[in-house]
């Protein structure tokens, strides 16, 4: 019995919001990693569309963004036959458990979330209750699947910490109910910085569109953005202090080609930044070309997408319902 338990692969859960464009930063930092993890773990992935309405969405664009994100992730290599990949709003247990967890999460805890503070500043005209309780929904996403590991960026670490605290609190009141998840540390994805201010993370909310590259940007646009990337006056292609721009470009080059920073430095010895920027642009274009082609086919194939997200949602519901049932029974709800 313990033997089979040991052999069982660990469960990984992660989700990304369908808030428009997916950037090169999202891809190299998170998605590419998700794809690799599929071989060694039981991965469950979701498009976190319930989270997205904490910021007001235009219905037509929102619907398109959800479908685009779904198709794009598959184009990047998420295989729903291997790793259930569903749309969060299709699986009702998420909203239900989120409500319950809200009642086990303190106002003070949620008030300390830095993302809440940031977002309420940014959207001062719409500081809604959902924005405040967003971490409870994220905790529900994770805890419903008895998740072992959660691959997340540094910006989501505080939310995972809260998830762990709430799960431990629940377990200590009612006895073991939730697996306590851990952050996935291991081969972390590349941290891609802004091409215009390489001390900041690459973000699509950056007002300067030259600061970020979208996976679906046309090749000439990608090239233009790399050619304009901010560098330094040192004119040597190598990693170094005060060379944030070049460090970032080397990081990107390394993440898309698999070459090490040393190999890249050697290759560009005696060559200028202009050459290097063009080479990085070309490498990125080559990397996204097959993804863009696949995306173009998938987005036209509505039947395939529908079949996949329905099958995945069915699976996710089955697994998550078990946890929700257990939780409700422990709290004292009357069985249906
Ligand atoms: N909040 C995450 C983000 O904005 C997305 C997310 C939702 C998530 N649910 C999750 C990530 C569960 C990991 C696990 O990036």
Alpha carbon distances (Å) from 86 to 46, 175, 232, 245: 5, 30, 44, 37
> For residue 181, what are its two tokens?
């998840």
Tell me: do 30 and 132 sit in the same domain: yes
- Per-chain mean pLDDT for the chain: 94
CA separation for the pair 309, 313 (Å, rounded) = 6
Span 97-116, mean pLDDT?
97
List, in order, residues 6 or more apart from 223 with CB less than 8 Å away: 278, 281, 282, 285
* Distinct helix (H) and strand (E) counts, the chain: 15, 5
Percent of the chain with pLDDT strictly greater than 90: 87
List, in order, residues 6 or more apart from 20 with CB less than 8 Å away: 61, 65, 204
pLDDT at 188 over 70: no
Strands (E) across 5-110 are located at 11-16, 42-47, 85-87
Tell me: do 120 and 142 sit in the same domain: yes
Tell me: do 18 and 129 sit in the same domain: yes
157 annotated active-site: no
Tell me: do 215 and 87 sit in the same domain: no
pLDDT digits (tens, 9 = 90+) for 110-159: 999 999 999 999 889 999 999 999 999 999 999 999 999 999 888 899 99
> Domain total for the chain?
2
E strand or H helix that includes residue 149? strand 149-150
CATH at 270: 1.10.240.10
Tell me: do 88 and 218 sit in the same domain: no
Tell me: do 287 and 308 sit in the same domain: no
Which ligand 1 atom lies nearest to the CA of residue 137? 9
Q: pTM higher than 0.85, yes or no?
A: yes
The pLDDT value recorded for residue 276 is: 97
Domain contains 99: yes
Among 13, 17, 204, name the best residue to mutate to test ligand 1's pocket (greatest count of ligand atoms within 8 A of Cβ). 17
Range of the domain at 258: 209-295
- Among 168, 161, 225, smallest CA distance to 192 is for 225
The pLDDT value recorded for residue 8 is: 86
Q: How far is ligand 1, taken at its centre, from the CA of residue 113, in Å?
A: 14
Annotated catalytic residue, options 204, 236, 259, 326: 204
Span 24-50, mean pLDDT?
94
* Phi, psi for 182 (deg, rounded to 5): -120, 155
The pLDDT value recorded for residue 171 is: 98
Tell me: do 314 and 281 sit in the same domain: no
Span 271-284, mean pLDDT?
96
CATH at 165: 3.40.50.620
Tell me: do 253 and 315 sit in the same domain: no
pLDDT at 186 over 90: no
Compute the C-alpha angle 26/150/189, nearest 5°: 35
Span 47-68, mean pLDDT?
96
Pocket of ligand 1, beta carbon within 6 A: 13-17, 48, 51, 138, 141-142, 150, 152, 156
204 annotated active-site: yes
Q: Is the dihedral of CA 305, 307, 310, 312 positive or negative?
A: negative
Q: Among 17-31, 45-59, 88-102, where is mean pLDDT lowest?
A: 17-31
pLDDT at 7 over 90: no
Tell me: do 121 and 161 sit in the same domain: yes
- Under 8 Å between Cβ of 335 and 327: no
Task: Order across the sheet with 42-47: list the strands.
Answer: 85-87, 42-47, 11-16, 149-150, 182-183
């Amino acid at each position: 019995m313990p033997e089979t338990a040991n052999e069982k692969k660990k469960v990984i859960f992660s989700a990304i919001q369908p808030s428009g464009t997916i950037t090169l930063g999202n891809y190299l930092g998170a998605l590419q990693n998700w794809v690799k993890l599929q071989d060694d773990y039981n991965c469950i992935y979701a498009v976190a569309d319930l989270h997205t309405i904490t910021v007001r969405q235009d219905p037509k664009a929102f619907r398109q963004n959800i479908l685009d994100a779904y198709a794009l992730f598959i184009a990047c290599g998420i295989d729903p036959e291997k790793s259930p990949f569903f749309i969060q709003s299709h699986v009702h247990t998420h909203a239900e458990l989120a409500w319950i967890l809200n009642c086990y999460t303190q106002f003070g805890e949620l008030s300390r979330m830095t993302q809440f503070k940031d977002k309420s500043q940014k959207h001062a005209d719409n500081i809604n209750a959902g924005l405040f309780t967003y971490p409870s929904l994220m905790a529900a996403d994770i805890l419903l699947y008895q998740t072992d590991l959660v691959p997340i960026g540094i910006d989501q670490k505080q939310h995972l910490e809260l998830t762990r605290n709430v799960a431990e609190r629940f377990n200590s009141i009612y006895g073991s109910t939730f697996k306590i998840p851990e952050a996935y540390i291991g081969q972390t994805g590349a941290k891609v910085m802004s091409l215009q201010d390489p001390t900041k993370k690459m973000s699509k909310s950056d007002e300067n569109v030259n600061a970020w590259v979208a996976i679906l940007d046309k090749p000439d646009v990608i090239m233009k953005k790399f050619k304009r990337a901010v560098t330094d006056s040192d004119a040597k292609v190598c990693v170094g202090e005060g060379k944030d721009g070049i460090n970032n470009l080397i990081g990107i080059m390394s993440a898309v080609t698999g070459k090490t920073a040393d190999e890249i430095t050697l290759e560009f010895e005696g060559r200028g930044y202009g050459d290097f920027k063009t080479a990085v642009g070309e490498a990125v274009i080559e990397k996204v070309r097959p993804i863009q082609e696949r995306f173009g086919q998938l987005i036209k194939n509505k039947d395939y997408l529908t079949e996949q997200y329905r099958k995945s949602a069915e699976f996710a519901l089955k697994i998550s319902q078990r946890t929700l049932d257990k939780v409700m029974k422990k709290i004292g709800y009357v069985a249906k």
